[in-house]
Amino acid sequence: MKFTKMHALSNDFIIINNIKQHYYLKKDIIKKLSNRYTGIGFDQLLMVELSKNKNIDFHYRIFNADGNEVNQCGNGARCFAKYIKYKKLTFKENICVSTNNSIIYLKFLKNNKICVNMGTPLFDPESIPFLGKLSNNGYSLFYNNERIIFHIVSLGNPHCIIQVSNLSNISINLIGSFIQNHKLFPNKVNVGFMELINPNNIKLRVFERGVGETNACGTGACAAVAVGTKKKFLSNKVKVNLIGGSLNIVCKDNHIFMIGDAHYIYDGIIKL
């Protein structure tokens, strides 16, 4: 199987061109491929497919390292855009791409950055889904007898956003795993920990479904800014600082726009 390795802010992917070749990878195969010691190693596997709609350029599928298919990945979307341009699958500057549950728009900018229109954030519990009840300050769960206040939002995939005073004092893996696997999130959830620097800057770490903590999460960055603008402690243009680098997130006309780069690493062939 031919594949391409790419990364965006050190969030790494393999991309498979499934237009001319037709691979249907089972969960156990994807898990083996994602292993960083005995496979290729990646956070997500992306597939490029033809669209069945003449008004849409490509179809985009995303699989987490555990083999489960998900509906959206912001950093993956930029790698997807870079890939189809690099492989000359398109010469257009504006691309329309379908995912399992939405349509996204990709735009190539002059500074080698890519702008992704991530659509409209959804804050209703049904879109996550989340089975808890809203309190005065947001939603909450108890962890080790301590109340954790959080907000929920969907941008094609579900996010739980927790605002913290200092990221270095937070047990990301323990709290992230606890919330992600809580019974109130029947489909699990991505857990983002946000530290406010000022209305135009935040720090963010994300514990992702099927992966664990990653160096960056594009939809997580969008979700954090969506919550911050809704709660009016963030402006409509925010720099999100992640472990792997930074993204610029813009809120305009109820849509979230993510601006960042993506990088080609190498092409490879692996025997399945």
Q: How far apart are CA 105 and CA 97, in angstroms?
A: 6
Stretches where the chain sits below pLDDT 50 are none
- What are the CA-CA distances from residue 168 to residues 118, 172, 204 (Å)? 29, 9, 11
- At which residue do the structure tokens 């950055």 appear? 113
- At which residue do the structure tokens 């530290």 appear? 195
Q: How far apart are CA 233 and CA 194, in angstroms?
A: 12
Amino acid making up residue 88: K
Residue 272: predicted pLDDT: 86
Q: Can you give the pTM of this predicted structure? A: 0.91
Cβ(162)–Cβ(193) below 8 Å: yes
- What is the chain's Cα-based Rg? 18
Amino acid making up residue 20: K
Active site residue 160: no
Q: How far apart are CA 57 and CA 51, in angstroms?
A: 6
Token code pair at residue 68? 């489960």
For residue 74, which of 60, 87, 59 has the smallest C-alpha distance? Answer: 60
Q: How far apart are CA 272 and CA 55, in angstroms?
A: 35
Residue 133: predicted pLDDT: 86
For residue 97, which of 37, 40, 156 has the smallest C-alpha distance? Answer: 156
Token code pair at residue 89? 């699958």
Token code pair at residue 261? 């780069």
Q: How far apart are CA 201 and CA 238, in angstroms?
A: 5
**Of 73, 115, 222, 251, which one is the catalytic site residue?**
73
**Of 115, 160, 217, 251, which one is the catalytic site residue?**
217
Non-local (6+) Cβ contacts of 37 within 8 A are: none
Q: What angle do the packed helices 74-86 and 218-230 form, to 10 degrees? A: 130
For residue 161, which of 133, 199, 190, 197 has the smallest C-alpha distance? Answer: 190
Active site residue 79: no
Q: How far apart are CA 111 and CA 241, in angstroms?
A: 20
Amino acid making up residue 187: N
* CA 265 to chain CA centroid, nearest Å: 20
Q: How far apart are CA 31 and CA 36, in angstroms?
A: 10
Instruction: Give the domains, in start order, of the chain with CATH numbers.
Output: 2-119+260-269 (3.10.310.10), 125-256 (3.10.310.10)
